Structure 1
Amino acid sequence: MTAPFAPAPETPVSHQLRHLEHGDGAALHALVRDGGGLDLNSPYAYVLGERFWADTSVVAVGPSGPEGFILGVTPPPDPTTLFVWQVGVAPEARGRGLGLTMLRWLVDTVGPRHLEATVTPSNTASRRLFAALARELGTDLAVSRWVEPDELGDVDHEPEDLHRIGPIAGPTG
């Protein structure tokens, strides 16, 4: 779900945070392909993200181009929830709190009442990331089983647990 998470350094690295734009899909696919640690989706999936989920997603642009992103979507049955599908941080940008910075930015710009993501039990970095966001927001984090490996058609895949943060009061400012 996400690249390794570490606390922010004393001197944060500056990134331009913005919603996805036309043309970002290929760069996001390359970031996942070259960065390791994430499920690599087809290039088309990242183009879908830039076209249909731009307003609920973020890209962090650094000196060398995109160094992080979050693909988020508002599920049709619950427009007050932001579902985080994938968090990616380039290896050279890891350990600087970029994942948490992007999540806070999305919460502030999208304004969801709840934020959800699925995480495998062994993905300690993502578990810490979402727990840190809940602490910063001063709200609850509930974790429940969301999908079993057989539902994914892959008995070698771990189950996915739903992490639900909220209710979220307002901008983290």
Structure 2
Amino acid sequence: MADRPPPRMQDPDRVAQRLLRASGSYEPSATIDWDTPVLEGNWFCCPERLSLYGTPLWDEMDQQQRIELSRHEMASFMSAGIWTELCLIQLLARHMASSRDLGDSRTHYALTEVADETRHSVMFGRMVHAMGCRTYTPPPAVQRLFTHASTLYSELSIFALALVIEEVNDQ
């Protein structure tokens, strides 16, 4: 096996500046007409992605029951999205509060991420409300587990987690 030189480390400040330039802010409050009623009879996600799809119980359900299932499963997914976004906001805030230079590009990028996660949470919450559902939260034990485990994350793992959460929620 040939020896390869180690990868060249990029300047973290330059990486943060590049990410800041690439971070376009989408404003769902201004671009979505939240007063438009949800169209009855439409799916809230692909039927193939629903938990009961392809099961004997699915076969017994009528179309309206299947659509209602899609409504509640999407509300549950968006509620999980809100909770994970809030967890990420906590991690980013803790990261910035721990003696970060507020003039640093990495701190500016973290603040941009907090703003984006806040907008996402508002959008998810408004959508759940528009669908006529309530938001769901994890059980208190899971919430406490996150609070205790969150102190173990390093700077790198916080930003990696941000990418993972965004990828899952975007999909």
TM-score, normalised to structure 1's length?
0.27
Bigger CA radius of gyration: 2
Report the structure, 1 or 2, having the larger helix content.
2
TM-score, normalised to structure 2's length?
0.27
